[in-house]
Structure formats: structure tokens, C-alpha cells
């Protein structure tokens, strides 16, 4: 078995599938789900504009309607990742 390397931000893994980015360690109590809602093209790059950020529970016992603990909409990927990182860190400290 080979070790899989993920992109990371502030020492937390980033996993992307289409317009959804998961941020955080799935073995922790929470992760952030970032959904790119709008984007624009700048030369050959696709730049994310509006991003929905959700802090979600990774506990398999949590009912689906209670999985989202916090949510917000941010402009730009860095703002979205920064708020997600703050939420994760605060949740981990409270646990």
C-alpha cells in the first residue's frame, strides 16, 4: 500500500471533487465543506468568486439534518479557507 499525499493548507488536507473542496482531517470530529457557487475566467485560470462554507460533523451517528454545524458564504477561496480553519480550530479546542 502506498501513502497518498494531499494538498494542504495550514497543515490540514484539502481534497477536491468538481466544485466541492473538503478541508480538514476526516479522522477529526469536524471538517469544512467548501462549495464553489460562482467563478470567473481570468486568462486561462478559473477564479472562484462566491463560496459556501459549511462546518460538518464527521460522526457517523449524527443524523443528516444535524450534520451542518455552521455555514456562511465568502468571496474568494482564501477567505473561505480562513474562516473554515478558524471554525475547525475553535471546535477542536472546545471538545
pLDDT, tens digit, 9 for 90 and up, residues 20-49: 999 999 899 999 999 999 999 999 998 999
pLDDT of residue 10: 92
**Residue 90, SS3 per DSSP:** helix
Per-residue model confidence (pLDDT) at position 1: 43
Task: Give the per-residue pLDDT at 39.
Answer: 92
Does pLDDT of 9 surpass 80?
yes
DSSP readout, 31-81?
EEEEEE--EEEETTEEEE-EEEEEEEE--TTS-GGG-EEEEEEEESHHHHH
Using CA atoms, how far apart are residues 20 and 60, in angstroms rounded to an integer? 20
Under DSSP, the state recorded for 94 is H
pTM value is: 0.88
Count Cα atoms within 13 angstroms, Cβ side, for 16.
Answer: 8
pLDDT tens by residue, 10-21: 999 999 999 999
d(CA 25, CA 74): 22
Mean pLDDT (whole number) for 62-81? 95
Amino acid at each position: 500500500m502506498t501513502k497518498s499525499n494531499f494538498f494542504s493548507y495550514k497543515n490540514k488536507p484539502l481534497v477536491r471533487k468538481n466544485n466541492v473542496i473538503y478541508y480538514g482531517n476526516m479522522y477529526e470530529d469536524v471538517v469544512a465543506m467548501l462549495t464553489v457557487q460562482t467563478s470567473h475566467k481570468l486568462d486561462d485560470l478559473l477564479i472562484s468568486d462566491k463560496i459556501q462554507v459549511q462546518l460538518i460533523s464527521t460522526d457517523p451517528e449524527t443524523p443528516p439534518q444535524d450534520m451542518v454545524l455552521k455555514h456562511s458564504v465568502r468571496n474568494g477561496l482564501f477567505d473561505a479557507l480562513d474562516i473554515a480553519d478558524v471554525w475547525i480550530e475553535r471546535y477542536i479546542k472546545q471538545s
